[in-house]
Amino acid sequence: MAHEEEYVKYMKEQAKGVLENIMRMVEKLHHAQTCNGGCPLTQKGIIEGLGYSYAYHNKDAIVKEIYDTPLSFHVSSGWTPAEEFFVPINYVIVMMRLGPAVKITGRLDEDGVPKTADLKYYDLYIPWTKYVLEEQEQEAVLEFAQHFSYSCP
């Protein structure tokens, strides 16, 4: 029993690491969008104090980092005949796979934009488990998910 509890704790730590990475990217993006070159932070101060790279002020580099982070993302819908247009209603962003795995799941609105976001973790012996997010974390995960396109051609 103690071994299982330690393993669940380890899996939660992996999900927390993914969450912390998402939070840092969203924080950097917000800073880059509002700073506009008038920031009192120097490059040296950013690197030493915050542990961030040069990209802290480069919006394009931060957006690229967001795009490059997931392993994959997928959409699904209800049952649709093969000859009909596919309208996605759910999405999954795979952040880590195998042992343990971490993903973001949620529902899409009518325009294909994420309206919900849940962070979940899993391993072979433990089912998908929702990572409980605080309000600020929930907002950051949803904003991260909204950077991707879920519409079908």
Question: Distance between CA 117 and CA 105 in Å, rounded?
Answer: 6
Q: Which has more pLDDT, 53 or 126?
A: 126
Residue 151 falls within a domain, yes or no?
A: no
Query: Domain for residue 153, yes or no?
Result: no
Q: Where is pLDDT greater, at 48 or 129? A: 129
Higher pLDDT, 23 or 98: 23
Q: Determine whether 112 is exposed, middle or buried from the number of CB atoms within 10 Å of its CB (0-12, 13-18, 19+).
A: middle
33: confidence class by pLDDT, cuts 50, 70, 90: confident
Structure-block tokens of residue 122: 């899993």
In a domain, 106, yes or no: yes
Compute CA distances 85 → 59, 79, 106, 110, 149, whole Å: 35, 11, 21, 14, 17
Residue 152 included in any domain: no
Among the ranges 17-21, 82-86, 95-99, which has the highest mean pLDDT value?
A: 17-21
Cα–Cα distance for residue pair 87/110, rounded to 1 Å: 9
Q: Is residue 63 domain-resident?
A: yes
The answer to whether residue 150 is domain-embedded is: no
Look at residue 55 in the predicted model and tell me its pLDDT. 62
How many contiguous H segments (helices) and E segments (strands) does the chain have? 4, 5
Which residue shows structure tokens 């879920």? 150
pLDDT per position as a tens digit, 96-147: 887 789 999 999 998 889 999 999 998 877 889 999 999 999 999 999 999 9
pLDDT at 25 over 70: yes
**Total domain count for the chain?**
1
Place of tokens 């690491």: 17
Domain containing residue 72 = 2-145
Residue 121 CB-density burial (10 A; 0-12 exposed, 13-18 middle, 19+ buried): buried
